[in-house]
Structure 1
């Protein structure tokens, strides 16, 4: 079994709007039909977003893939002011530090520094403005991706054992013309993020389900 190399592409976080109360989003994560871990997002009243994820894929009782990720993002309105993330994917460690200075948002992965626009966003799944973005930052590896959103219409999905009508979107992300991720998102009528699905290049299906 080949490991699902694009699980990490799903781990991207942001902020809903300015001056909102503290909120949490807690997801169980499934690879095909098997639960492999959890991903939680906690937004404080000071607009700090903490994202933590831990996955463990087993094949015949052997740990075939392990993933441990934490990102801390500080926001000013819909713009990121700082970011620190640490990821351990199997034995590969990645650290990202980023900070707004003047009219530039500098992203440092320890090898390369990028100068991005002052108002940079990560993958703000619960912020309606994400749908308007053509560039988004991956907080795990610092990739500055080209993004395209497609509205797929309204459909009914299961959320916490209830039937809910949701707006369905497709998100395509690429870097230098090479496809990096393909994600599907669902939102309630109030623009609340409800669910996520992605198909990896290996053909595995990843689902995020609200607890």
Structure 2
């Protein structure tokens, strides 16, 4: 079944801004989501504003079926804001098979503050959401945009356009020459495989 690794799905002013990946020409990314080769949903992202100060909106819808019977439904909505290459805020709502989650994260003078239904967590100024689309964030600390948890992961570049994330997640992301996110593959705790393919 779906586990927390799968649902990882979608600085201070003195810190330098990130080099940003180029948004697609049509300002949208759409992926088919497959589990063990079977499509179970779709992951969509839209980009608005200046390329160095984008607002990125994400919508994910997935349904896992056992034969014709739905056994798992997932809906996720996120609005992510950056200014001058620096993470500013993230607001997410998630319905994971009836379990509602909400995350509000924002950069402050003291770092990044994350508020969830379980309370408040503070992280370093370099903390950023693990939303996959910008490979530049993978070199620093990350948090889960669904639950707000600060992740214990490491990321390394294993090819010119390939990043491998390991630890609490086992995810590989690919990007094109311009840095646009093109694919994802991951392994779930039950041994099944998750894959994103550009639609």
TM-score, scaled to structure 1: 0.80
The answer as to 2:189 corresponding to 1:183 is: no
User: What is the deviation of 1:7?
Assistant: 2.3
> What pairs up with 1:25-174 in 2 under 5 angstroms?
25-45=29-49, 47-133=54-140, 135-153=141-159, 167-173=161-167
Partner of 2:15: none
Question: Which has more strand, going by share of residues?
Answer: 1
- Of the structure 1 ranges 46-55 and 115-124, higher mean CA displacement relative to structure 2 is found in 115-124
Q: Secondary structure at the match of 2:155?
A: strand
Q: Secondary structure at the match of 1:80?
A: strand
User: What is the deviation of 1:88?
Assistant: 0.4
Q: Which runs of 5+ in 1 are unaligned?
A: 155-166, 174-179
Partner of 2:20: 17
Q: Secondary structure at the match of 1:145?
A: coil
Counterpart pick for 1:194 among 182, 196, 199: 182
TM-score, scaled to structure 2: 0.84
Q: Deviations over 1:56-79 (max 9, x none)?
A: 000021111110000111112332
User: What is the deviation of 1:172?
Assistant: 1.1
User: What is the deviation of 1:208?
Assistant: 0.4
Partner of 1:176: none
Q: Secondary structure at the match of 2:151?
A: strand
Partner of 1:210: 198
> Against the structure 1 CA distance between its residues 128 and 89, is the aligned structure 2 distance closer, same or farther, given a 3 Å change threshold?
closer
Distance (whole Å) between structure 2 residues aligned to residue 148 and residue 193 of structure 1: 19
Distance (whole Å) between structure 2 residues aligned to residue 104 and residue 22 of structure 1: 33
User: What is the deviation of 1:9?
Assistant: 1.5
The answer as to 2:2 corresponding to 1:4 is: yes
- Of the structure 1 ranges 76-85 and 193-202, higher mean CA displacement relative to structure 2 is found in 76-85
The CA RMSD measured in Å over matched residues stands at: 2.3
**Conserved in 2, the CA contact under 8 Å of 1:18 and 1:76?**
no
Distance (whole Å) between structure 2 residues aligned to residue 7 and residue 132 of structure 1: 21
